[in-house]
């Protein structure tokens, strides 16, 4: 299947720019007698120090950093409210999965005239995540190429090697559970973690046909992915410990949850939540659907987006670009926030070459460096992702617990997403 299609939007009709009339806001200012002033809202560890470093080296621009709650915990709504009120900051930390929704609500400002020249500096999938059609709404910061985190201690005890294919993964799931009824190969995946599994299989959720959205969450390709995991559920091979729950961390620490199929940033999650398992874990490439394939999913990643009404868009882009490309600053972000760079020239940072004691001295970023070029560039996030993921999580949560199926969850999410698009006046392609 060709993946050359753009993740962009042909026209405003597909996005339905309902907030396009908002034009006020703090959003930066400057004059001939002083530096341009830009406010930046975010929450990532290390961002406050990055802003200090920028201000020290760029006297012509003054960036003020304000920490807000992570997006899904209130930060995004705060940003949208500020845009509607006409007092939004120039810049905001916005995840790729949410950026299209912001664009659909008219909450972003096109900075293509300043950004276009930098397109080649970033990984293709990351750049497409911040651009819609000819518009560019910010700078890509990090990406989330996926791999297999596995408990090497458990694997070694059972004579197992990291699986090359998903068929091998299922066979290992049976062997792991047979060795101890409390032991499972994995736990359930929801929302954007689950999306990464679909992404790898080219099981797209959204596309754009002309000026209309096409929703394919319930497609045959998505059903195949869902049916695979459903098979593991039906055979009792998936832990019921919710991801990121204390029971999940306990399972990682004890070896009762033997793998996590996750993005690069999961390394920090596992290290922080299962400290007693230091030395037990390792990283291997993501299993493939076919032995001759090399396809990788992506989970997460964020941008420094320019919000609607920014009065100093060039200064805003200057900072956003610097944050994503300055080697010293980004090296610190790798250390403090486990970010993995979207910029091509940062892939050889020394922080990405270091051996990690937690993972038995493995240079784990080598695995993700090899994976990153194989992330499909055709994935498009939809314009109502908050609604889509809420409906999907509701259905997936029940299916993982044995109530309904993953295929049912996907079909229901498809229907509810189409209904929501129509409810918001957006065109839908059947």
Residue pair 165/287 in contact (Cβ under 8 Å)? The answer is yes
Where are the chain's structural domains?
A: 12-143+301-352, 146-298+379-423
Could you give the strand order of the β-sheet that contains 281-284, starting from the edge strand earlier in sequence?
A: 259-263, 146-151, 281-284
Give percent of the chain with pLDDT exceeding 90: 87
| Domain 146-298+379-423 bears CATH identifier 3.40.190.10 | yes
Residue 108, helix vs strand vs coil: strand
**Count, residues in the chain:** 430
Q: What is the pLDDT of residues 343-376, one digit of tens each?
A: 999 999 999 999 999 999 999 999 999 999 999 8
Q: What does the alpha-carbon distance between residue 388 and residue 373 come to, in Å, rounded to a whole number?
A: 28
Q: Looking at residue 153, what DSSP letter applies?
A: H
Closest CA to 273 of 358, 353, 155, 356: 358
Per-residue model confidence as pLDDT tens digits over 56-89: 999 999 999 999 999 988 999 999 999 999 999 9
Contact 359, 133 (CB under 8 A): no
- pLDDT of res. 14: 56
CB 296 within 8 A of CB 286: yes
Provide the H-helix boundaries in 359-405: 365-371, 385-400
| In the predicted structure, residue 240 carries a pLDDT above the cut 60 | yes
Has residue 24 got a pLDDT over 80?
Answer: no
Q: What is the rounded CA–CA span in Å between residue 245 and residue 256?
A: 14
Two tokens, residue 161: 């090697």
b/e sequence 5-44, b meaning 16+ C-beta within 10 Å: eebebbeeebbbbebeebeebbbbbbeeeebbbbbbbbbb
pLDDT score of 22 more than 60: no
12-143+301-352 and 146-298+379-423 in the same fold: yes
Question: What dotted CATH number matches 12-143+301-352?
Answer: 3.40.190.10
From the list 251, 253, 309, 304, the residue with the least C-alpha distance to 277 is 253
User: Could you tell me the two tokens for 268?
Assistant: 């920090």
**Given a cut of 80, is residue 26 above it in pLDDT?**
no
Q: Which helix (H) or strand (E) covers residue 54, if one does?
A: helix 47-57
């Amino acid at each position: 299947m060709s993946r050359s299609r753009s993740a962009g939007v042909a026209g405003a009709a597909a996005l339905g720019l309902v907030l396009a009339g908002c034009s006020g806001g703090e959003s930066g200012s400057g004059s001939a007698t002083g530096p341009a002033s830009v406010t930046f809202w975010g929450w990532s560890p290390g961002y406050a120090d990055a802003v200090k470093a920028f201000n020290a080296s760029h006297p012509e621009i003054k960036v003020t950093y304000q920490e807000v709650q992570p997006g899904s915990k209130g930060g995004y709504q705060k940003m949208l409210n500020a845009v509607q009120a006409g007092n939004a900051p120039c810049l905001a930390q916005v995840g790729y999965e949410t950026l299209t929704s912001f664009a659909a609500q008219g909450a972003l400002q096109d900075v293509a005239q300043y950004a276009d020249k930098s397109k080649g500096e970033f990984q293709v999938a990351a750049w497409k995540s911040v651009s819609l059609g000819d518009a560019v709404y910010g700078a890509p910061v990090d990406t989330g190429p996926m791999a297999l985190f596995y408990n090497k201690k458990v694997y070694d005890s059972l004579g197992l090697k990291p699986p090359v294919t998903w068929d091998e993964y299922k066979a290992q799931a049976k062997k792991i559970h047979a060795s101890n009824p409390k032991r499972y190969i994995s736990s359930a995946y929801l929302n954007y973690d689950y999306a990464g599994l679909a992404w790898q299989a080219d099981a797209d959720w959204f596309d754009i046909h002309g000026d209309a959205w096409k929703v394919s969450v319930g497609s045959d390709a998505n059903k195949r992915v869902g049916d695979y995991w459903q098979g593991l559920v039906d055979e009792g091979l998936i832990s019921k410990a919710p991801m990121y729950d204390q029971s999940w961390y306990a399972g990682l620490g004890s070896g009762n949850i033997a793998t996590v199929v996750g993005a690069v940033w999961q390394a920090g999650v596992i290290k922080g939540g299962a400290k007693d398992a230091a030395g037990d874990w390792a990283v291997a490439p993501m299993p493939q659907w076919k032995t001759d394939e090399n396809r990788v999913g992506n989970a997460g990643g964020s941008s420094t987006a320019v919000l609607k009404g920014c009065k100093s868009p060039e200064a805003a882009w200057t900072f956003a670009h610097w944050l994503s490309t300055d080697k010293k600053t980004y090296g610190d972000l790798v250390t403090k926030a486990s970010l993995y760079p979207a910029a091509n020239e940062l892939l050889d940072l020394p922080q990405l070459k270091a051996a990690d004691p937690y993972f038995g001295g493995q240079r784990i970023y080598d695995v993700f460096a090899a994976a990153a070029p194989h992330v499909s560039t055709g994935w498009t996030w939809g314009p109502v992702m908050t609604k889509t993921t809420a409906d999907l999580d509701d259905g997936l949560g029940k299916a993982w617990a044995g109530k309904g199926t993953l295929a049912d969850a996907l079909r229901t999410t498809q229907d509810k997403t189409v209904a929501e698009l129509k409810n918001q006046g957006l065109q839908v392609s059947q």
